[in-house]
Structure formats: structure tokens, C-alpha cells
Amino acid sequence: MAKTFGFAESRGGELRKVAFEAVAAARKAADASGGGEVHALVIGAPGIAAKAEQLGRYGADVVTVVEHPALERYSPEVFAATAAEQIRAGGYRAAFFAASGQGRDLAPRVAARLDASLASDVTTFEIQGDAVLAQHPAYVGKVIVTLRLAGTPALLSLRPGALTAAEQPRGARVEKAAPAMDPATAKVVVTELAQSRATKLDLGEAPVIVSGGRGLKAAEHFKLVEDLAAAFGNAAVGATRAVTDDGWRPPTDQIGQTGRVVSPDLYVAIGISGAIQHLAGMRTAKTIVAINKDKDAPIFKVADYGIVGDLFEILPRLTEEIRKARAAH
């Protein structure tokens, strides 16, 4: 029997989806090693404790809540010190983080403080005797590496959305704790958190992504892409590097080797030729649709459904048909 740990990320006073994924993964690891307790850690401004019980739904037995007025936003030093202290004290077999923007900063700091092994951006894992084996897509997604983590605790950061957060309700016991260091003494301070797209779905979390490339010919034609995304109702808009380099879309929209790596249920590539750098960011989508005027474009090699033709003719009709299909079901 082994205890495990999940770091539950929050933003703006709410737990994020990746928090449930980390806790569900910790549950899975605990069950795989004989069914020990799962401990979760939530850090935030006063009030976050009210959200802690939600983590019981995904298998947390104990939720430690650290509330402090100065911790409304992320504080790398305080979060790392507090998580490291909790993990050290808990004697966990494994500790899970999200490979989110915050988790990718936090997990390596905690690993260094604990002198522990860390596998990053993990898509699946298993407990095998003394070791944890974790799969991680590397080489721009072209090679799947299975990593062996030796020693205890093993730290893993999980690719958002890769592991479904299965519900396994437990009556989570909520305990309060103090931060491991005084937030006023932190050297690195997040002075502002700007929600850049508060009303829109994030690329990492959207089930559908509609993405545009140079084939759209001009920035204003992205309206067609946005219209299609709106018709789906659960879609985010992405772009190729050529498009973000030209300033048609913000750099944060870029999907590919140097941008975001996404695995949505559906990826619709509009006017995208399918350069290897772009494919690196979306080849693990469950279903890929491509619309391009060049029938020899490499995107058609990976597209489950391709339509060859003029996107300016095809898109309005597709948007209309998707809207109708969604209204009918």
C-alpha cells in the first residue's frame, strides 16, 4: 500500500481541469500499488478551501489547503517550498503535477528541492514494482519515450487532457496548513495575471480546434475560421507559425513544434499545407479534417477526411452544415 500526492492547480479562485486530472492520476497510482491514500494540495487566496471538497470526487482522501492573501496568484518560491515540504513529510510513492504553464514551472523546482526524479509531459504511466514507467512524447512527437523513474517519490507532470479524470468519489477530509515560507520574502513576484481569452476555450482544453494557415491569404479572413469554431460551439481557434509570425494571430495561438502541442478530439486544418513543424503540434488529434486547394499538400497524408478545393467556397457551407447538424442533435 502506498500513499500518493496530487497538486491541484487553481486560477482565479477556481480549481482547473488539470487539478482533477492530477488527483485522478494519483488515485490510479495509489490503487495500482495496493490502494493507499491520495493527498491533494491546493494553494490560493482565502476562500479556495470551499473548492477543496470537489477533489474528493476524483479520489482524494485528504486535501491540504494553504490559504494566504498573497497567494491569489502563483508564487514560484512559495508554491515550490510548500509542495516540497508536503511531499517530504507525506512519504509518497509518487507525486503528480499538471504539465500546464504553471506545472511545468513548479514540478522541476520541487524535484530539485527533493532531489527526486521527474518525468515531464507524461501521457500514460504504470507502477511496476519499485519503479514507475512513464510515456512521454519527445522529438516533436516523432518518438515515444518510455522513462523509468527510480527512487521515491517519483514525480510526474501530466500532459493536460491526456489522462481522463475518472470520478471515484471519496469523502475528502480538508486540512489547513500554512505556506512553507513567508510570501513577503519571495524574490520572484507575479504582479499581474491577465486573462487573455477569458470567454474562449483554451487550445489545451478544447475538444475541437479549428486552425488556419497561409491559405487564408489575409488576417481578416480568419473570421471564416472563427465562424466555423463558433458553429461547433466547443472549439478553440489555432494557427500555423507562418500566420503568427505575420501577426495575423497572436503567438499564443501557434500550434506546432515551437508552439502548443494539442490532442483534441477533432482538428480542422484550414488552408494549412502540413509542414512537419505544424504536424508535430497536432498529429495526435483523434480525428483530423483538412481543407486545402492543393491535393498534394502533406496535410492530406494525415487527414482522416480531406476536401480538396477553394476554402472560401467550402468554409461558409461547412459552417452552415455544422450549425444545422448541431441544432438537430
Residue 239 CB partners (closer than 8 Å, separation 6+): 211, 212, 213, 222, 248, 249, 253, 254, 255
Spatial separation of the C-alpha atoms in residues 233 and 222, rounded to whole Å: 17
> Nearest distance from residue 100's CB to other proteins, in Å?
6
Q: Which is nearer to other proteins, 41 or 203 (CB)?
A: 203
Which residue type sits at 65? V
Q: Which is nearer to other proteins, 175 or 258 (CB)?
A: 258
Q: Which is nearer to other proteins, 25 or 174 (CB)?
A: 25
Spatial separation of the C-alpha atoms in residues 130 and 127, rounded to whole Å: 8
Q: Which is nearer to other proteins, 48 or 208 (CB)?
A: 208
Spatial separation of the C-alpha atoms in residues 114 and 129, rounded to whole Å: 21
Question: Which H or E element spans position 277?
Answer: helix 276-282
> Nearest distance from residue 27's CB to other proteins, in Å?
23
Q: Which is nearer to other proteins, 4 or 292 (CB)?
A: 292
> Nearest distance from residue 171's CB to other proteins, in Å?
31
What does each C-alpha distance from 66 to 41, 55, 72, 79, 261 come to in angstroms? 8, 15, 11, 10, 32
> Nearest distance from residue 26's CB to other proteins, in Å?
19
> Nearest distance from residue 85's CB to other proteins, in Å?
14
Spatial separation of the C-alpha atoms in residues 138 and 134, rounded to whole Å: 12
Q: Please provide the DSSP assignment of 301-317 as one string.
A: HH-SEEEES-HHHHHHH
Phi, psi of 98 (to 5 degrees): -90, 145
β-strand pairing of 38-44 with 62-67? parallel
> Nearest distance from residue 70's CB to other proteins, in Å?
14
Q: Which is nearer to other proteins, 58 or 125 (CB)?
A: 125
Q: Which is nearer to other proteins, 27 or 136 (CB)?
A: 136
> Nearest distance from residue 114's CB to other proteins, in Å?
10
